[in-house]
Amino acid sequence: MAKLYELTDIWESLQQELEKLSLSWEDEYSQNIYTAIIQSIADIEETIEQKCESIGILLKQMKYDIIAFESEIKTLEKRKKALYIEYEGLKQYLISNMQKLDKPIETSRISISVSNCAPSIKITNLSKFKEYAFHKGIDGFWKEQEFTENELNKTYIKECIQNGLQIPGVELVINKKLLLR
């Protein structure tokens, strides 16, 4: 069966032939050809209509599928977020209790321990930090000249604190991580 674009090309060609023939009605042969072209155009239009209807129905179904997928994605995102919150809460619960025990747990099914992460900085008061940095004129705290928390050079700030510099609005923290093997 012909494709839609092939049918529309044939339809256009027949329309052009029809326009040429309509100029000359001199004999019965031309009238027969004219009638045959009219019938062919009608048949092709019917086939085109059926193809367009099928494509339209398919597009409609695809649109509903897209809407259903979007809805399912939203549902899954909500479930993922809820599960992540539950995961983080349970992880922190286990970390705090493992710290109290101060020893790893080993069973035949799992080994659980808590270890320290590398030290990192935590900005507790950005405005105090900015005031200190500008007052002291310390270069290197920001990667760019946009004085936002995202542009902080945290590695440099961490090194300054580790070397004994007291910086208001910033503290050095050592987070814990849970190891499950």
Each of the 181 residues of the chain gets a pLDDT tens digit; together they read: 789 999 999 999 999 888 877 665 667 777 788 888 899 999 999 999 999 999 999 999 999 999 999 999 999 999 999 999 999 999 999 999 999 999 999 999 999 999 999 999 998 998 888 888 877 766 667 665 666 777 788 888 899 899 998 999 999 999 999 999 9
- Take residue 18 and report the two structure tokens written for it: 């029809």
**Cβ(117)–Cβ(175) under 8 Å?**
yes
Determine the pLDDT at residue 153: 83
How crowded is residue 161: how many other Cβ atoms within 10 Å of its Cβ? Answer: 16
Give the pTM: 0.59
Name the DSSP letter for residue 151. G
Domain boundaries defined on the chain: 4-93, 110-180
CA 19 to chain centre: 53
Determine the pLDDT at residue 143: 61
> Pseudo-torsion of CA 59, 62, 67, 69, nearest 10°?
-170
Determine the pLDDT at residue 104: 95
